[in-house]
Amino acid sequence: MNRNENLPYFFDEDDVLKIFSVCNNIKHKTMLTVLFYASLRSTELCNLDDKDIDLKSLTIRIREGKGGRDGITFISEECSNAIKRYLEVRPQLTLEDGSHPLFYTDYGNRWKYRKLYQMFVYYKEKAGVTKSGAVHVFSRHSPASIMISQGCDIRIVQTLLRHKDIRTTVRYCHIADETARQWHDKTLKL
């Protein structure tokens, strides 16, 4: 079976809300919020600089994402507000290379995937979410599955996830069975 044909794990709306609800650290909650609402990969979050965030247009610039590709992704008003609250209390940091990371560790370094993974698993366990999956499932599979279940067009999901090939996105269509049933019953009438 092709990797893109496997059914993905995902967290549903209740799982995501539980994870958000147990996170009281403003930096961690903002990181989780940006991961989820922007459907970012872990490395993309870790690479974000202040200049990549445009709160007026509600977008984030992805630099050197998967395959070295740049891109733009959207964020919600809720995500924008979380970033604003975080920036109000976060001191700005300039790294030796002159960059200003959006998120940095308590030691003044960029976050690394492994630490982000550990942080996520801590909150997932604290929330009592026992489904399989970690950061990638939370930030990529879950938003895609939720959007598809809400009736979002597969091509829009492809664009939002920045998938090069639609076959990668089609994996999330399994979640749309109930939505497909509703559209079928509503529209296939003589």
| pLDDT for residue 80 is more than 90 | yes
| pLDDT for residue 130 is more than 70 | yes
pLDDT value of position 148: 80
* Domains, the chain, with CATH or none: 8-177 (1.10.443.10)
Distance, CA of 19 to CA of 125 (rounded, Å): 9
The model's pLDDT over 19-72, given as tens digits with 9 standing for 90+, comes to: 999 999 999 999 999 999 998 989 999 999 999 999 999 999 988 766 667 778
The model's pLDDT over 140-190, given as tens digits with 9 standing for 90+, comes to: 888 888 888 887 777 777 777 776 776 666 666 665 566 666 766 777 766
